[in-house]
Structure 1
């Protein structure tokens, strides 16, 4: 995983967030506060489905 570029959302500002490393075959996700703690790897198809769900509001919930 050291050969991949980890990116954090520009929307996170100075707040700690998750980071993502992408390749043609997979997406890896890790906690930016503790990158040494490991990462989760999912295949690229699952990652695209997850992003589509986010954009569609499938995971939104009222926290108020």
Structure 2
């Protein structure tokens, strides 16, 4: 698979809590059967991918914190 073409087809969404002035910038996207999470300030480090159940637990924990 061509990774460059694959990565261009991914639609990343910035967190509503991310700052537009270069602060905390976290993006997520559906990546195959996983949820990709990356730091939009430093794309060179790539992303992590978690299963949907883990993503749901993480988001639920963040929302109640």
| 1:33–1:22 distance in 2 versus 1, CA, 3 Å | same
Gaps of 5+ in 1: 58-64
1:54 to 54, 62, 65: 62
1:22 to 27, 30, 36: 30
Give me the whole-angstrom Cα distance separating, in 1, the residues matched to 2:63 and 2:17.
15
Q: RMSD of the TM alignment (CA)?
A: 1.9
TM-score (norm 1): 0.71
More helix by share: 2
Poorly superposed stretches of 4+, deviation over 2 Å: 22-25
How far apart are the structure 2 equivalents of 1:32 and 1:53?
22
TM-score by length of 2: 0.70
Report the alpha carbon displacement of residue 39 of structure 1 after superposing the two structures with TM: 0.6
